[in-house]
Amino acid sequence: MKRQPASTRSNGAGQRNGRRPVTLIPGDGIGPEVIGAAVRVIEAAGVAVAWDRQAAGAEAMRRVGTPVPDALIRSLKRTRLALKGPLETRVGEGYRSVNVYLRKTFDLYANLRPTQSFQGVPTPFRNVDLVVVRENTEDLYAGIEHQVTPGVVESVKVITAHASRRIARFAFEYAVRNRRKSVTAIHKANIMKLSDGLFLKCARAVARNYPRIRYQEQIVDAACMRLVTDPQRFDVLLLENLYGDIVSDLCAGLVGGLGMVPGANYGDRGAIFETVHGTAPDIAGKNIANPVAAILSAAMLVEFLGYKSRAARIRSAVEATLRTGRSVTPDLGGTATTSAMTDAIIRAMR
């Protein structure tokens, strides 16, 4: 699996008794099960973390009547790092989404989702190895909506040169540091000439500074078709917020589903590591959720903390466990519980 960029590595500041403080948000639905698995793996890897457990989303709503408690914000301001489970968003009446609120508050502008095929995982697609880089702070997620007149509403799509250049630079820096060959900007500038046009203009200007990385562009609908007919042609994908959200779920489908894809949100001063999948209420509390996405997100955190070889060991253990096809959860065709699959991954680390 490819390395994380050096620019997205922590300097280890704020160590307490040799343990790096990290906010732990178990989240809702299957969150506590998969995040619990990820914490076990981090501990088995011997990485010294001082967890500061905080509630958010529905759990916080039940406990303290708000989905984003002050204690959570204080913790994040202190640690500037979190491992986070999925949050139920519809409870956040005051906020459209707790996830969007956290990303905007801490200016975590880059969402990175490495999507890779693993041997042993039942899917018709082979050798997929791509990375989704999604802009995280604007687009239709700016949350500017209003009713013009009953029966007519408007949602405003906000695209700025500042955010577009910043995310393009992140994608190219990632490509350089991880020896990736190409960056594909995905857009709909043929229809949204101003907004997507500006995004492309910025991506092209940034691309000129990286002559060794091949830069290409694709219209989002054609890119979706290409992704399912020829996914191996893609390397780093650069997308605005909404296209990034949709296309990354499509990419998850190429490698065995939402249970397989990790994610991280990076800003200049902090990062939140989280799965691409949501709360999966249909399987919550049954101990059958696939822990791989959470464990691979944990590996991204471990690498961010500076423990590159331990992160590699976690990824190799996941690969080895998936390859055998034993001890895997039902979404991967097995019968193992979340705990049993986590046990197998920890055994493979030794």
Q: Can 282 be counted among the known catalytic residues? A: no
- Active-site hit among 107, 129, 249, 343: 249
Closest distance to ligand ATP from the beta carbon of 252 (Å): 9
Among 128, 238, 293, 341, binds ligand ATP (CB under 6 A): 293
Residue whose C-alpha is closest to residue 235's, from 253, 220, 214 = 214
Identify the active-site residue in 245, 266, 307, 331.
Answer: 245
34 neighbors 263 (Cβ within 8 angstroms): no
User: Can you tell me the distance from the alpha carbon of 60 to that of 68, in angstroms, rounded to the nearest whole number?
Assistant: 7
Q: Which of 114, 120, 259, 262 binds ligand ATP (CB under 6 A)?
A: 259
Determine the 3-state secondary structure of 49 from DSSP: strand
Q: Which stretch binds ligand ATP (CB under 6 A): 111-119, 144-152, 206-214, 271-279?
A: 271-279
Respond yes or no: is residue 268 known to be catalytic: no
Judge whether 107 counts as a catalytic residue.
no
Residue pair 1/28 in contact (Cβ under 8 Å)? The answer is: no
Q: Which residues, at least 6 apart from 98, have a Cβ–Cβ distance to it below 8 Å?
A: 56, 57, 67, 68, 87, 89, 92
Which amino acid does the sequence have at 102? L
Which one among 60, 186, 206, 280 touches ligand ATP, defined by CB under 6 A? 280
CB of 84 to ligand ATP, least distance (A): 13
Neighbours of 330 (CB within 10 A): 15
Is 277 a binder of ligand ATP (CB under 6 A)?
Answer: yes
Q: Phi and psi at residue 268, in whole multiples of 5°? A: -75, -20
Pick left, alpha or beta for residue 326 (phi over 0 → left; psi -120 to 50 → alpha; otherwise beta).
beta
Within residues 86-115, the interface with ligand ATP by CB under 6 A covers: 86, 88
Q: Which stretch binds ligand ATP (CB under 6 A): 12-20, 35-43, 132-140, 286-294?
A: 286-294
Of 109, 141, 174, 307, catalytic: 141
Interface with ligand ATP (CB under 6 A), residue from 289, 318, 328, 348: 289
Task: Find the part of the chain contacting ligand ATP (CB under 6 A) among 3-11, 96-104, 174-182, 283-291.
Answer: 283-291
Q: How many residues bind ligand ATP (CB under 6 A)?
A: 17
Q: Does 290 bind ligand ATP (CB under 6 A)?
A: yes
The answer to whether 188 is a known catalytic residue is yes
- Per the annotation, the verdict on 331 as an active-site residue is no
Would you say 171 or 317 has its CB closer to ligand ATP?
317
Please say which residue, 93 or 282, places its beta carbon nearer to ligand ATP: 282
Q: Mention every residue, 6+ apart, whose C-beta is less than 8 A from residue 256.
A: 117, 118, 121, 122, 123, 331, 332
Q: Which residue is nearest to ligand ATP (CB)?
A: 278
Taking CB under 6 A as the criterion, the residue among 223, 261, 283, 296 binding ligand ATP is 283
12 or 333: CB nearest ligand ATP: 333
- Selection from 242, 217, 238 nearest residue 139 by Cα: 242
CA distances from 201 to 112, 308, 332 (A): 22, 35, 41
Distance in angstroms (rounded) separating the CA atoms of residues 205 and 207: 5
Output 4 or 337, the one with its CB closest to ligand ATP. 337
331 forms part of the interface with ligand ATP (CB under 6 A): yes
Residue 217, number of CB atoms within 10 A of its CB: 16
Question: Among residues 188, 215, 235, 331, which one is catalytic?
Answer: 188
Please say whether the beta carbons of 261 and 276 come within 8 A: yes
**Catalytic center residues:** 141, 188, 221, 245, 249
* Residues lying near ligand ATP in the complex (CB under 6 A): 30, 34, 86, 88, 258-259, 277-283, 289-290, 293, 331
